[in-house]
Amino acid sequence: MIDDNKARGIAESFDLNCIGTIGLLIKAKRKGLLHELRSIFKIWLKNERYFAIKLINKILEQEGEKEIEL
């Protein structure tokens, strides 16, 4: 196991493009592999996986989905 930031730093040192979990999900939705992001984000929040609600709602807005209210 290694820290995510450390792994990203190593990958970038080899000139590899890095994408995070949220970026990967956005790409999957845009390619039609996911119907929506909102349900995934709700599960994350329910299970206390921390992402700022402001960030999540901004992404949902950009993707034409309803925001999550806490």
**What is the reported pLDDT for 1?**
40
Distance CA 64, CA 4 (A): 29
3-state secondary structure the chain: CCCHHHHHHHHHHCCCCCCCHHHHHHHHHHCCCCCCCHHHHHHHHHCCCCCCHHHHHHHHHHCCCCCCCC
**What is the reported pLDDT for 2?**
52
4-20 per-position pLDDT tens digit: 788 888 888 999 888 88
Q: Which residue has the tokens 């994350």?
A: 44
**What is the reported pLDDT for 49?**
82
17-63 per-position pLDDT tens digit: 888 889 999 999 999 999 999 999 999 999 988 889 999 999 999 99
The model's pTM: 0.78
Position 68 in a domain:
no
Q: In terms of residue numbers, what domain contains 31?
A: 4-62
Q: What total of structural domains would you count in the chain?
A: 1
Q: Which residue has the tokens 């039609």?
A: 32
